[in-house]
Amino acid sequence: MALVYKQIHTEGIALLSYIIGDDSTGEAAVIDPRPDPEIYLNEALEMGVAITSIFETHIHADFMSGSRELALQTPGAKIYASEEGGAEYDFDHESIRDGDRFRFGEVVLTARHTPGHTPEHISYEVAEEGRTDDPWGVFTGDSLFVESAGRPDLLGEDQSEELAEKLYDTLYQYYGKLRDDVMILPGHGAGSPCGADIGARLMSTIGYEKRTNQFLEFEGRKEEFVKFALDAPEEPVYYQRMKKLNARGPEPTDGLPRVQGMSPELFKKAVGDCSKVEVIDTRPALAFGGGHVPGAKNIWAKPMLSIWAGWLVDPDKEIYLILDFDSSLNRVVSYFNRVGLNCFGGYLVGGMDAWVRKGLPIKETPQVPVHELRKLIDQNNDNFQLLDVRTEEEYKEGRIDGAIHLFLPDIPENATDRLNPDTPTVTYCESGYRASIAASLLERAGFKNVKTVPGSWLAWKAMKAS
């Protein structure tokens, strides 16, 4: 026997999914797959195994499950999902209950009901055949993270306290009783909104978490734990949509959604004034600032696009893409698809170069370098408003004096209440990524003069330190 094991880190949504099996029998399982399954198929090919089982730890809220898509491309593979806590699904699956065991050669997975993040949540102990009561690791899903734990507030206020109490029991009555050397194989890494301040390491041990994880510092103090666990970051607006979609079962598409290429003239006719569709310019902030289609939103095509598109793109509208390079189309589409955004109208062939050559209108978003911003502030120039679009926690930890705070996702609904659309506005964030998104949202809201700070807070701190 040779254990086959691979952790797959999907940046942006910070998903950690897994392949595990035994090459002597050629069988393997995938745990919590993302919706673009080629990576699992390619890994299985390299390992010399076939994917025969697909396991879900729970009904996900932060990304679109890829179980049905993967099952379509692995004939005969079964999807296993927990029905603990009364969970229901609208797609074919095999039910899992606490204590169920699954063998892949000498590898044994044992399901453990670990509620708290959700009522149905299941974790999977992994052990060798003949030592099933002595696991060497646990696929913890969203119950226990490195230096954090799953948030219990995603099913509404009426269930949050009960789920927080169940999370306490999961952490102290189950995880707390495992051996210190048992490995923790979590469902997310740093950057996921599914837990508060998840650590940077992608795996851990029970013993290390007992020493470092704040969620494991409340033994015997359940009431204090509940208050602590419910003090979670703001819930992304797309989470409830994702939970409903994943319980229903995303329809498999046999690959990424197809997106048609469009000439500048056809693209302009299709998008109109951008009010009835979503025009997303995925170029870097500086390129967007140099010239873009009026009314376009700027979400740079980095992996974190998935999260910000989930927050800010209307799922009921067609998406039209402007790319840096046409060759990046499939990669960009996969970022949208991971959060269930797959209704595409088309993409602009040749990008902004083609648009400009046709003499079509463009809009600029000027940049304010940090040295220029400092001069404006030192001159007590009150003829502009400085907007910090980071989280409340980031804002409290350090900010540019005089900045108004408005969290990026709140701009569409609250910007005109907090800011004067006729006053020049300068946006900043941590690095400039979110500042450019914010500027594009403000422009769509009718703000007359919007600029961004390239490098933003990081550049400001570097300038101050020099």
pLDDT 10s digits, 186-224: 999 999 999 888 999 999 999 999 999 999 999 999 999
**Three-state secondary structure string covering 240-281:** HHHHHHHHHCCCCCCCCCCCCEECHHHHHHHHCCCCCCEEEE
pLDDT band at 232 (very low <50, low <70, confident <90, very high): confident
One domain, residues 451 and 351: no
Residue 382: per-residue pLDDT: 75
One domain, residues 459 and 425: yes
Question: Which residue, 191, 123, 139, 227, is CA-closest to 214?
Answer: 227
Which of 204, 226, 248 delimits the end of a domain? Answer: 248
One domain, residues 218 and 276: no
Residue 233: per-residue pLDDT: 83
One domain, residues 294 and 343: yes
- When divided into structural domains, the chain yields a total of 3
Which of 303, 331, 357 delimits the end of a domain? Answer: 357
The percent of residues in the chain predicted with pLDDT above 70, rounded, is 100
pLDDT band at 1 (very low <50, low <70, confident <90, very high): low
One domain, residues 125 and 12: yes
One domain, residues 346 and 379: no
Boundaries of domain holding 308: 261-357
The percent of residues in the chain predicted with pLDDT above 90, rounded, is 94
Domain holding 416: CATH number? 3.40.250.10
Q: For the ranges 79-83, 229-233, 318-322, which has the lowest average pLDDT?
A: 229-233
One domain, residues 45 and 139: yes
- Average pLDDT (310-324) is 97
* 2: pLDDT strictly greater than 90: no
pLDDT in tens, 445-464: 999 899 999 999 999 999 98
- Average pLDDT (133-142) is 97
Using alpha carbons, list the distances in angstroms from residue 395 to 194, 389, 406, 407.
21, 8, 10, 9
Instruction: Please report whether residue 450 resides in a domain.
Output: yes
Instruction: Please report whether residue 255 resides in a domain.
Output: no
- Average pLDDT (275-302) is 97
Distance CA 6, CA 30 (A): 10
Residue 378: per-residue pLDDT: 87
What is the identity of the amino acid at 444? R
The per-residue pLDDT of the chain, averaged, comes to: 96
Residue 466: per-residue pLDDT: 84
Domain holding 170: CATH number? 3.60.15.10
Which of 357, 389, 419 delimits the end of a domain? Answer: 357
Contact criterion met (CB below 8 Å) for 49 and 28: yes
- Average pLDDT (83-102) is 96
One domain, residues 244 and 280: no
